Amino acid sequence: MRWWSNEPSAYGYQWRRCKAAGKKCKAIAGALARTYTPTSADVGSTLSVSETASNATGTGKPANSAATVVVVPGAPQNLAAPKILGTPKAGQTLTAQAGQWSAGSKELLLNWLRCEAGECHPIEGATGHTYKLTAADAGFSVAVREAAVNAGGWNAAVSEAVAIEP
């Protein structure tokens, strides 16, 4: 809200979606409140708000804010955890089946985990889509943690752990 003269008694707002450089702004239908939560339609654009002040003599000229930075998508949301495929036995190779994530471009990063009594720790160097089980894994469980990354941040999901036979 900017400082207005002549004792305004009411304020009006219109949020606007602008090109990435903050130019060529167009009103966002229904966005008339003092606050606005960006939506997927705003990704790649900037936002600006136009404020008007009114008193008993009428409504003043709108004051336009500077544009925001470019709106990025929200961090990916996990819809289904990754799964482990293969025979859980020392010497065999397990494969990580990717989980499902919300829309938006993203990069998937993997870490294989060795688990005991519900506590899991990363296996050094095990970051690929496959993991060859070793004798050191026998008697433990193994899980895979998948992290999805996009311009809005990251999120991770962990598969169910599978018990490894000798």
pLDDT in tens, 57-74: 888 889 899 999 999 988
What do you get for the CA distance between the two ends of the chain, in Å?
Answer: 68
CATH 2.60.40.2700 domain position(s) in the chain: 78-163
- Name the region of 126 (left: φ>0; alpha: ψ -120 to 50; beta: rest): beta
Mean pLDDT, rounded, for 124-136: 96
Provide the pLDDT confidence category of residue 118 given band limits of 50, 70 and 90. confident
| 5: Cβ contacts below 8 Å, ≥ 6 apart | none
- At 33, list the tokens: 């409140």
Residue 6, CA distances (Å) to 3, 10, 50, 55, 118 in order: 10, 12, 19, 8, 66
pLDDT at position 131: 98
pLDDT at position 4: 67
**Type of residue at 114:** R
Provide the pLDDT confidence category of residue 2 given band limits of 50, 70 and 90. low
DSSP string, 83-130: EEES--BTT-EEEEEP-EE-SS--EEEEEEEEEETTEEEEPTT--SSE
Cα atoms in the Cβ-side hemisphere of radius 13 Å centred on 5: 1
Domain 78-163 grouped into CATH 2.60.40.2700? yes
- pTM reported for the whole predicted model: 0.71
Query: Nearest 5°: phi and psi at 34?
Result: -65, -30
